[in-house]
């Protein structure tokens, strides 16, 4: 295909394969690229319990830059992790596989749209604690279906982080994006490779991607809760966004049809000490300055915080 041809979404993996050997060099010219990936990985890891082994998935892992960010974020939290990278482009995966990785990192080729069908082939039978999808969703037409599959893949309380450019609905963001694309990114791509197709597609696909609110609505529609969105500082402010969302922890008893634990919760709360009895226990144990407060909302008078000090 000539460089002047327009790239369609179905050709994207092949175009990444064509550009794969130059990809790391190209992103290294973007000074914020690795920092932004790291902050997305931190946003994922900070929601997970680092004291038990974690199962992570890097969907659209490319040449492994986002996988590396996940490992660095996990190392900082002191978490032991297994990471599975999935990408549709054999060339990008070849770049990733050529790098040195610790035990517990593996890569598989395939479309995000085929996640549900390939879970066992990709070693993802067990639920994942966290999924990172950095710069993937723009390239996926079936976004709702993929979000539903990621929701299925996650364990209860698991987290999805999506890093993506979105400018629709913001004339300022759209104008800055077009200016930087045509004045910097596309010319740089021509200078370094005499190819501009992928970066013209990048420009176009970002303009066509969901407005932030639409993608947030998709996350809710797929069953995610606690959806948060933040943007970065610098020229990409309002252009590059990190979406974080969780699979509700309480789904377990609906999906498992198990109510034993929650019937016990109900019974044990009813049977627990009255507030005064627990205060008396604290005094009897030698504590002083005992204080109790309750929360606002429907749990007022139900949920209490007891604070007590050992005498100095
Ligand atoms: C911009 S790169 C990002 C790679 C990596 N996440 C990073 O942050 O450096 C996007 C990657 O998504 C992959 N990709 C595009 N469409 C895909 C799809 N439908 N399923 C899986 N991977 C896809 C491409 O092959 C490419 O490697």
For ligand 1, whether the C-beta of 122 sits within 6 Å is no
Listed by start position, the domains of the chain span 9-255, 273-309
Which atom of ligand 1 is nearest the CA belonging to 65? 9
Q: Report whether pLDDT(297) > 60.
A: yes
Query: Quick check: helix, strand or coil at residue 28?
Result: helix
Cα 62 to middle of ligand 1, angstroms? 5
Question: 22-31, 170-179, 277-286: which range is least confident on average?
Answer: 22-31
Calculate the CA dihedral of residues 297, 301, 304, 310 and round it to 10 degrees.
Answer: 140
Q: pLDDT class for 254, splitting at 50, 70, 90? A: low
Q: Which pTM value belongs to this model?
A: 0.81
Please, where are the H alpha helices in the chain? Answer: 12-28, 33-45, 65-77, 90-97, 115-118, 143-153, 171-180, 186-193, 197-208, 212-221, 251-256, 260-271, 275-284
Terminal Cα-to-Cα distance of the chain (whole angstroms): 78
Give residue 123's region: left, alpha or beta (phi > 0; psi -120 to 50).
left
Question: 91-95, 98-102, 224-228, 263-267: which range is least confident on average?
Answer: 263-267
Q: Report whether pLDDT(236) > 60.
A: yes
Q: Which of 5-9, 263-267, 283-287 has the highest mean pLDDT?
A: 283-287
Could you confirm whether domain 9-255 is CATH 3.40.50.150? yes
pLDDT digits (tens, 9 = 90+) for 88-145: 999 999 999 999 999 999 999 999 999 999 999 999 999 999 999 999 999 999 999 9
């Amino acid at each position: 295909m000539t460089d002047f041809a327009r790239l369609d979404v179905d050709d994207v993996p092949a175009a990444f394969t064509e550009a794969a050997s130059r990809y790391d060099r190209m992103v290294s010219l973007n000074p914020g690229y690795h920092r932004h990936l790291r902050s997305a990985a931190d946003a994922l890891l900070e929601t997970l319990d680092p004291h038990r082994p974690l199962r992570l998935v890097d969907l659209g892992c490319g040449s492994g830059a986002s996988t590396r960010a996940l490992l660095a974020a996990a190392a900082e939290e002191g978490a032991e992790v297994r990471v599975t990278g999935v990408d549709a482009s054999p060339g990008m995966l070849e770049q990733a596989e050529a790098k040195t990785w610790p035990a517990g990192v593996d890569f598989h080729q395939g479309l995000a749209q085929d996640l549900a069908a390939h879970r066992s082939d990709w070693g993802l039978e067990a639920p994942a604690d966290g999924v990172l999808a950095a710069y993937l969703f723009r390239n996926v037409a079936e976004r709702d279906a993929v979000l539903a599959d990621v929701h299925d893949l996650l364990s209860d309380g698991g987290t999805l982080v999506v890093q993506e450019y979105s400018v629709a609905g913001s004339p300022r963001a759209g104008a800055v994006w077009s200016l930087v694309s045509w004045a910097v990114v596309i010319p740089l791509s021509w200078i370094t490779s005499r190819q501009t197709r992928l970066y013209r597609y990048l420009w176009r696909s970002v303009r066509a991607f969901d407005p932030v609110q639409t993608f947030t609505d998709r996350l809710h529609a797929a069953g995610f809760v606690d959806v948060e969105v933040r943007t970065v500082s610098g020229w990409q402010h309002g252009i590059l966004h990190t979406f974080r969302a969780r699979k509700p922890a309480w789904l377990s008893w609906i999906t498992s049809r198990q109510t034993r634990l929650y019937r016990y919760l109900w019974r044990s709360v009813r049977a627990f000490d009255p507030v005064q009895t627990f205060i008396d226990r604290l005094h009897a144990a030698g504590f002083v300055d005992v204080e109790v407060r309750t929360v606002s909302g429907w749990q007022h008078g139900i949920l209490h915080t007891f604070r007590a000090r050992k005498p100095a």
